[in-house]
Structure 1
Amino acid sequence: MRLDFEALGAAEAYRWVIATVTPRPIAWVSTRSAAGIDNLAPFSFFQVVCDAPPTLMISIGNRPDGGEKDTLRNLRERGELVIQLVSMAQADAMNATSAALPHGSSEFAHCGIEAVPAERVDVARVAGAAVAFECRLASILPYPAEAPNHHIVFAEVLFAHIDDAVLADGRHVDPARLDVIGRLGGAGYATTRDVFALKRPG
């Protein structure tokens, strides 16, 4: 099969990209509005982009009506966030937070997800998350520039919470214990339990 992306419609291009660029880790992002409302939403356009300083990237698409999502609004207002990784045990809770709630609603409250305070930022975090990165906003890049339908968020990691239960030792995480999920195409997901190792050439 050969695909000319310049000839594809937006929906078809999206379908092929998300079905092939897999698995994609999921950023379960908590933010707080200027009014003090805690928001929690998952994003699968997510990756590490830099280690010095440690920086994560999330691409936040617009709402179907073209408006900005609460996560992006809150980042503009307060410049702080917590990025949680999602375990298999939290898959249903994460999926519930992807619902399109009215502006100003709290997914923590709506979905019954326990929250605890972060330490370095004034944002709630998911109590049961095995890994949570407390971050400050580094920059927001509208894309594409001429007619933005996504905003690429760069978040600098300030502090991390890693559950001792997922550690193999004092310096390493056990992927099987971590058991995070990644997004495939459509409604599919994968886990980190199927692991193999390759030694880099010298």
Structure 2
Amino acid sequence: MTDNGSENGERAEGLEIDVDDHDSSLYRVLSSAVVPRPIAWVSTRSEEGVDNLAPYSFFTVASVEPPILLFAPVDDTDGLKDTPRNARDTGEFVINLVTEEFAEAMNETSATLPVDESEFDHAGLERADSTAVDPPRVAGAAVAFECTLHDLVDVGGSTLVLGEVRHVHLADSVTTDGTIDVAEIDAVGRLTGSFYARTEDRFSLERPP
């Protein structure tokens, strides 16, 4: 028996997936392996004036110059979800950072609500006025990025929403000497199913030259 749990030096067999022969979705595999994922808690305002707020964990930085953030909602069976539709129609949205104090409220905003009902009200969240865009921020969010729509891109059953950052809000609690301090950001990451991760356990590695 070797260290990897196999006999005669042979590696133990694992699960192999041939995508061409795989009948079901790879969602569980992808969402379980690509972890932890930051959560874009996106606030938008519909053309009818309804404030929408929803979390999306397919989220990352797409570009630094210009500053572009990207999140990728999976489409509904009948088309775009409220968030990408509002972003398309109004050209604006806000990405709020989900920290541990907002984890429960974030989960509440993932509920399926009628189009004329606001997740802010459903989750009992306060709105804060934005500076450069019309949709509100989540009051008390440690970090918020006000964005204008850069592009919408259809990719299979999802829509990539790319937003150019126009204004950034940083709470005093996440800055040190006027600079954002990653050690002070207790962000919540998505794993899979009902599981999430904290970022309180950090370590450092020096990048080689």
Q: Please give the alpha-carbon distance, in whole angstroms, between the structure 2 residues aligned to 1:133 and 1:46.
A: 13
Q: Which runs of 5+ in 2 are unaligned?
A: 1-14
The superposition leaves residues 58-115 of structure 1 with CA deviations (integer Å, 9 ceiling, x where unpaired) of 101112x333211111111100000001001100000000001112321011211100
Q: Please give the alpha-carbon distance, in whole angstroms, between the structure 2 residues aligned to 1:9 and 1:56.
A: 33
In structure 2, relative to structure 1, the CA distance for the partners of 1:10 and 1:72 (3 Å cut) is farther
**1:139 counterpart residue number:** 151
1:190 aligns with 2:197: yes
The aligned runs of 1:1-202 (5 Å cut-off) are 1-11=15-25, 13-63=26-76, 65-144=77-156, 149-175=157-183, 177-202=184-209
C-alpha displacement of 1:19: 0.3
Q: Is the 8 A contact 1:29 1:81 kept in 2?
A: yes
Q: Is the 8 A contact 1:70 1:104 kept in 2?
A: no
Q: Is the 8 A contact 2:170 2:180 kept in 1?
A: no
Q: What's the TM-score, normalizing by structure 2?
A: 0.90
Q: Please give the alpha-carbon distance, in whole angstroms, between the structure 1 residues aligned to 2:24 and 2:137.
A: 34
Q: Please give the alpha-carbon distance, in whole angstroms, between the structure 1 residues aligned to 2:163 and 2:124.
A: 27
Deviating above 6 A after TM superposition, structure 1's stretches of 4 or more consecutive aligned residues are none
Aligned residues with identical type, % of pairs: 47
One-letter amino acid of the structure 2 residue matched with residue 201 of structure 1: P
Q: Is the 8 A contact 2:108 2:122 kept in 1?
A: no
Q: What's the TM-score, normalizing by structure 1?
A: 0.93
> How many pairs were matched up?
195
Q: Is the 8 A contact 1:62 1:69 kept in 2?
A: yes
Q: Please give the alpha-carbon distance, in whole angstroms, between the structure 1 residues aligned to 2:179 and 2:142.
A: 15
Q: Please give the alpha-carbon distance, in whole angstroms, between the structure 2 residues aligned to 1:191 and 1:140.
A: 31
